[in-house]
Structure 1
Amino acid sequence: MIIKDIIEDKKKWRAHVARVKKLPQDYQTVYKEIQKYLFKVGPVELTGGIGLLSGIIDLFEEGAALGKGVLEVTGSDVAAFCDELIKDSKTYADSWQESADRDVDKAMKKMMGKMK
């Protein structure tokens, strides 16, 4: 990544954060929790851009404009809302599971090789 790309990504992120700060407080609070959740378990692709997060802000801006409470938009189970958003995406948990499976498989093959 060149410096120009880093600067452009930083500008996009700042604009993104500015949109979050314009949301009503309850929306900001839930957004921040969603962001934390997605950064922990979320899709691997999330680190490459802010598309999913921007989509959530779009949804939240629309809900706020209609006078809805944030939980009317997400439902009372915010984690389930997040899981639904990423259900078809490869997550970090999936990557870790695949890595662990490969490591166990490799170790088992090595052990079986020694037993012969």
Structure 2
Amino acid sequence: MSIQDIIQGKKKWRAHMARVKVLPKDYQIVYKEIQKYFFKVGPVEMTDDTGLLSGIVDLFEEGASLGKGVLEVTGRDVAAFCDDLIKDSKTYTDIYQEAVNQEVSKAMKKVTDKKK
């Protein structure tokens, strides 16, 4: 990644966050929680692109312009809303679960090999 790429990425992120800051307060609160959720368990592909988050801002801007409350847009279960958005994407949680299962399999194989 070049310096220019980093600079462009920062500009893009700042423009994205400027859009968030003009949303109504309830939308900003929910957006920040969604962002935290995605950064913890979200899709692996999201690491250097704001596409998913930008799409959420688009949805929130539309909901706000129609006078809807944020929970009318997402539903009361915001985590379920997030999960639905990434249901077909590989997540950090998936990777961690796979790693745990592999480690358990290795350990169990060693135990059974010693018994032979």
Q: TM-score, normalised by structure 1?
A: 0.93
Aligned to 1:73: 73
Distance in 1 (CA, whole Å) between partners of 2:57 and 2:84 is: 16
Deviations 1:1-21 (A, max 9, x none): 121111111111101100100
Q: Which runs of 5+ in 1 are unaligned?
A: none
**Counterpart AA for 1:17:** M
Aligned to 1:92: 92
5 Å matches for 1:26-105?
26-105=26-105
**Counterpart AA for 2:86:** I
Distance in 1 (CA, whole Å) between partners of 2:41 and 2:97 is: 12
Q: State the shift of 1:83 in Å.
A: 1.1
Flag as ranges the 4+ runs of structure 1 deviating above 4 A. none
Distance in 2 (CA, whole Å) between partners of 1:6 and 1:110 is: 46
Distance in 1 (CA, whole Å) between partners of 2:114 and 2:5 is: 50
Q: State the shift of 1:48 in Å.
A: 2.5
**Counterpart AA for 1:58:** D
Q: Which runs of 5+ in 2 are unaligned?
A: none
**Counterpart AA for 1:97:** Q
Q: RMSD between aligned alpha carbons?
A: 1.1
Task: Using the aligned pairs only, state the percent identity.
Answer: 74
Aligned to 1:18: 18
Aligned residue pair count: 116
Are 2:3 and 1:3 aligned? Answer: yes
